[in-house]
Amino acid sequence: MQSAEIQSVKHRFGIIGSSELLNRDIDIAIQVAPTDLSVLITGESGVGKENFPQIIHQYSHRKHGPYIAVNCGAIPEGTIDSELFGHEKGSFTGATADRKGYFEVADGGTIFLDEVGELPLSTQVRLLRVLEAGEFIKVGSSKILKTNVRVVAATNMNMTQATREGKFREDLFYRLNTVPIFVPPLRERRDDIVLLFRKFASDFAEKYRMPPIKLTDDAKKLLMSYYWNGNIRQLKNITEQISVIEQQREINATILKSYLPMDEMERLPALLYPSAQEQKSFNSEREILYQVLFDMKKDMNDLKKIVHDLMNNQQVEIQHNDSAFSSFINHTDQHPSASAPTSEKQIEKPMHDKNQFHDLEDVEEFQEAEDYDVLESTHHPFTLEEMERKMILNALENHNGRRKAAADELKISERTLYRKIKEYGIE
């Protein structure tokens, strides 16, 4: 695929951007267009999925046939079968005449099923039959009709999860997903954001007959760092708002920030608009691991010091039972000549005066050790995931389940903590 051909497609369909991910998607669409394979386009809302069915149709041998786009999420469940496959007169209340469905009208062309994940299960069965055999039956009829339609579907739903939950038929998913195209979100095309803003600003300047707005350097940095949960659609709406409302045509970061929803400002990188807490961390996940390793090293050093003091000063008697070692400390100052009885379950060790421990936590850490030898040997190896999970559990327990306070202690954002809680299955 020559870059000149991709540029031609972008110009023809009004696609703005030079991202490698975007170019790859366009390349796939052109390559698959001459075939009759079903294509499933996935991606977040507002990324521009509707452009790709048109590319596929226009570069196929069906380009002279009909092209019909259907928003499956906008049609009520009770009438969607009639919309897609048609109905016979008298088949239901209000069916005063025969009606052709989209699959009959689009015969020889392409039908684009947007938000295909919203289809009811009963409709999914009918659609599967169209894909497998090219057959369908109108509502209220028993006659089998044939259609020759290319199906391109799109959704912002996680289809793999939907099939696991029984919301979408697995066999239909695989039929639709013969060729997958994933359209990247705007935050993964950061170099394209300023280009899109400039294009929208020019369009709105022409529409409203006013000079186009321009961004200062700090505004461009803010624009590229924003999360853009609504993707291109959100960027276009905000550009239109600024174009109409602002009197001055040069937009700085302060003005731009007033138009960006605050709930997404937290997703900005810490280097741009850091809070006091965010300045201490560049990477939230790495910060948790560093904190775990630091605490483990500190604990091990404290335990080694305790053992060293114990062995050089007093006697400790460790009694073993079937479940674990129970450590307890005896004072011998009052009876220096007394000797403790020994047995297979009792081991005489040097003992430390309780007053010589740094604090009560040192005593508790020593008493909770599973085995005396563990204090001098290497500890049981933990994976990074286990250590991270333990740190999160401890932080939540320390703050009685309050996630914001736990996130502050771990020096991560609440959003990262929520994701980790879900990832590790923490209740």
pLDDT digits (tens, 9 = 90+) for 105-117: 999 999 999 999 9
Bridge partners (DSSP) of residue 144 are 137
Q: How many residues does the chain have?
A: 427
List pLDDT tens digits, range 380-404: 556 777 788 888 888 888 888 888 8
Interatomic CA distance for residues 309 and 356, integer angstroms: 9
- In angstroms, the CA 115 to CA 154 distance is 6
Residue whose token pair is 């045509």:
249
Number of helices followed by number of strands (H, E) in the chain: 17, 14
Chain centroid to CA 419: 9
Q: Is the pLDDT of residue 354 over 60?
A: no
Smallest Cα–Cα separation from 40: which of 53, 26, 27?
A: 53
pLDDT of residue 14: 93
Instruction: List the domains of the chain with CATH numbers.
Output: 3-184 (3.40.50.300), 187-273 (1.10.8.60), 287-330+344-375 (no CATH), 383-423 (1.10.10)
Task: For tokens 């047995």, name the residue.
Answer: 343
Q: Which of 229-233, 309-313, 349-353 is the most confident on average?
A: 229-233
DSSP H/E element including 219: helix 217-225
Comparing 140 with 274, the larger pLDDT belongs to: 140
Which of 38-42, 377-381, 415-419 has the least mean pLDDT? 377-381
* Rg value, the chain, Cα: 33
pLDDT value, residue 133: 95
Task: Give 299-328 pLDDT, tens digit per residue.
Answer: 777 777 787 777 766 544 444 444 443 443
Q: Which of 38, 52, 56 is nearest to 171 (CA)?
A: 38
The answer to whether residues 228 and 185 touch, using CB atoms and an 8 Å cutoff, is yes
123-174 pLDDT per residue, tens: 999 999 999 999 999 999 999 999 999 999 999 999 999 999 999 999 999 9
Backbone angles phi, psi at 38, to 5 degrees: -75, 145
Classify residue 200 as exposed, middle or buried by CB count within 10 Å of its CB (0-12, 13-18, 19+). Answer: buried
Q: What is the pLDDT of residue 286?
A: 58
CA 36/CA 149 separation, integer angstroms: 9
Quick one: pLDDT at residue 302?
78
pLDDT in tens, 279-301: 444 455 556 666 677 677 777 77
Which pair of structure tokens corresponds to residue 305?
């010091």
With beta carbons less than 8 A apart as the criterion, state whether 145 and 126 touch: no
Cβ contact 82:99 at 8 Å: yes
Q: Average pLDDT, stretch 234-240?
A: 97
Q: Is the pLDDT of residue 34 over 80?
A: yes
pLDDT in tens, 185-201: 999 999 999 999 999 99
- Using the structure block, give the residue that is written with the tokens 């939907």: 162
Percent of residues, the chain, with pLDDT higher than 70: 76
Instruction: Please answer whether residues 135 and 144 qualify as being in contact, where contact means their C-beta atoms are separated by less than 8 angstroms.
Output: yes
- Is the per-residue pLDDT at 372 higher than 80? no
Which of 88-102, 103-117, 205-219, 255-269 has the weakest average pLDDT?
A: 255-269
183 to each of 16, 17, 159, 263, 303, how far by Cα in Å? 13, 12, 15, 24, 53
